[in-house]
């Protein structure tokens, strides 16, 4: 499998050669991601990560999937250009409550636009800390960060997630400090590529910084 191959090449070639191969490949699937993680600890690849009646997944595969989902959520929670939307409309229910999308990771309002509320996420509902209530007097426009499925992520973030997941999986599954240290160096490179890619797509300027905007709006 392609996903398994590029990580095996990590042990055979310098890091820059590894990432050159990653960049020219097709988007990595979740199955390839799991097989990459299995390959790091010397486990054989699998043909499916979907359970079916009478066909349970090996413990190593279940562990790899759990680590992959955990790391994906952890990285996405930081809030990136690709999974964050600004001025996202949230509409009240008939009870004047606001329900959040199930894949919401974090949400906030513009401080200068909504001075009479202080919103936080509580489960899948929006709560007003300032007024101690779940009800709102108007619909809101918010900045919201979503957790996306692995197949929806940009390739650079798939690579970053796979790399960090492989390190954590190796440590959790084998307690292999040597492998963990080796993949940590790879993780640093993967994160740098992901951050660069996200910044390029964001097309940010100094005027996108909130503190700068606040000074200019005075």
pLDDT for residue 53:
84
Q: Which domain holds residue 92?
A: 81-146
Does residue 183 lie in a domain region?
yes
pLDDT in tens, 125-163: 999 999 999 999 999 999 999 999 999 999 999 999 999
Does residue 207 lie in a domain region?
no
Same domain? 135 vs 90: yes
Same domain? 34 vs 131: no
pLDDT for residue 23:
47
pLDDT for residue 108:
97
pLDDT for residue 21:
46
Does residue 172 lie in a domain region?
yes
Q: What's the order of all strands across the beta sheet hosting 140-146?
A: 84-90, 140-146, 104-109
Does residue 137 lie in a domain region?
yes
Burial class for 78, CB neighbours closer than 10 Å (0-12, 13-18, 19+)? exposed
Same domain? 67 vs 17: yes
Same domain? 118 vs 66: no
pLDDT for residue 211:
47
Same domain? 21 vs 64: yes
Does residue 215 lie in a domain region?
no
pLDDT for residue 11:
37
pLDDT for residue 176:
61
Same domain? 131 vs 36: no
pLDDT for residue 59:
94
Token pair belonging to 176: 């292999």
Does residue 216 lie in a domain region?
no
Domain count along the chain? 2
Does residue 214 lie in a domain region?
no
Same domain? 108 vs 67: no
**Average confidence score pLDDT of the chain:** 84
pLDDT for residue 6:
40
Do 160 and 194 touch, CB atoms closer than 8 A? yes
Same domain? 10 vs 68: yes
pLDDT for residue 4:
38
DSSP character string of the chain: -HHHHHHHGGGTS-HHHHHHHHHHSPPPPHHHHHHHHHHHTTPPP-S----BTTBPPPHHHHHHHHHHHHHHHHHHTT--GGGEEEEEEE---TTSB-BPPTTEEEEEE-TTT-TT--EEEETTEEEETTTTBSB-SS-EEEEEEEPPPGGGS-HHHHHHHHHHHHHHHHHHHT--HHHHHHHHHHHHHHHHHHHHHHHHHHT--GGGSHHHHHHHT-
Which segments in the chain show pLDDT lower than 70?
1-25, 176-182, 204-218
pLDDT for residue 25:
59
């Amino acid at each position: 499998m392609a996903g398994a191959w590029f990580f095996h090449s990590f042990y055979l070639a310098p890091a820059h050669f590894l990432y050159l191969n990653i960049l020219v490949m097709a988007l990595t699937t979740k199955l390839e991601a799991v097989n990459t993680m299995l390959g790091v600890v010397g486990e054989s690849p699998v043909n499916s990560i979907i359970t079916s009646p009478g066909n349970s997944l090996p413990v190593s595969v279940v562990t790899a999937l759990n680590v992959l989902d955990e790391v994906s959520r952890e990285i996405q929670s930081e809030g990136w250009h690709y999974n964050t939307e600004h001025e996202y409309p949230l509409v009240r229910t008939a009870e004047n409550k606001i329900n959040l999308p199930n894949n919401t990771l974090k949400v906030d309002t513009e401080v200068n636009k909504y001075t009479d509320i202080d919103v936080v996420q509580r489960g899948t509902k929006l709560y007003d800390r300032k007024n101690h209530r779940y009800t709102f007097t108007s619909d809101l426009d918010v900045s919201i960060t979503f957790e996306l499925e692995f197949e929806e992520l940009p390739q650079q973030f798939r690579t970053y997630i796979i790399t960090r997941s492989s390190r954590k999986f190796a440590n959790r599954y084998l307690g292999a400090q040597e492998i963990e240290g080796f993949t940590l160096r790879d993780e640093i490179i993967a994160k740098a590529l992901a951050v660069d890619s996200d910044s390029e797509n964001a097309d940010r300027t100094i005027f996108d910084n909130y503190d700068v905007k606040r000074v200019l709006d005075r």
